[in-house]
Amino acid sequence: MPPRNTIGQEKHSYRSRSLPHRFDTDKPIFITYRLKFTLPRSLLKTLKDRKARWFSELKKLDQREQDLQIQELDRTYYRWYDELIASHVDLPDTLKRKEILDIVIEALRFHDGLRYTLLAYCVMPNHIHVLINPLVQESGDIHPIAHVTYTWKRFTANRINKLMDRRGSLWQQESYDRMVRDEAELASTFEYIIQNPVKAGLVENWQNWPGTWMRKYP
């Protein structure tokens, strides 16, 4: 596990399309982005059914517990979604090709130590999880997270489209990002990333998945 992070006070904001985001200077950011594809109706129905059951169970709780659960709804919904796209047989699996995986990893590592410290990643067949620690630039600000993901997508889209002799958008425009708030969440985020291919049934041990990496600490 990485050394203890300090807790920063200064915040930095950016706007990704219409959604505001706020980040501390020294807290890691968990990012997920995926290939551009249409979600199958069966997957959307499963998500809808899960959400309906979730709200049905929510009504059985007292008000305090309801409030706590609602605060975590976005993350819960995200994890359902992530689980389903990781294992759905009708979705593309482009990123598992070695030559494409190599391009993605090259992009993630390119600004490691310059714009951010790369802490962990998992390249799944159709989506990517990344954990970074943004680095303060000479301006005193961190490099905008929206631009970090944009450069990953632009570089890889150009290279992969050329390799596959295709044109058009490769990545879904929106990405998911979340600031890691404390040490407990940092540990659970590391675990979530490296165990993703195991939970999807792709390997039995995370170390056997070629698209998974975690920074080693003394």
Query: Rounded to two decimals, what is the model's pTM?
Result: 0.79
Nearest to 158 by CA among 107, 116, 114, 122: 107
To which H or E segment does residue 50 belong?
A: helix 41-58
Domains of the chain, each with CATH number or no CATH: 11-37+93-214 (3.30.70.1290), 39-91 (no CATH)
How do the pLDDT tens digits run along the chain, 218 residues long?
333 333 333 433 333 343 445 556 668 999 999 999 877 788 888 878 888 888 888 888 888 888 877 777 777 777 877 887 787 777 889 999 999 999 999 999 999 999 999 999 999 999 999 999 999 888 888 888 989 999 999 999 999 999 999 988 999 988 889 889 888 889 999 999 999 999 999 999 999 999 999 998 65
Widest Cα–Cα separation across the chain: 56
Nearest to 4 by CA among 142, 182, 175: 182
Q: How many helices (H) and strands (E) does the chain have?
A: 7, 7
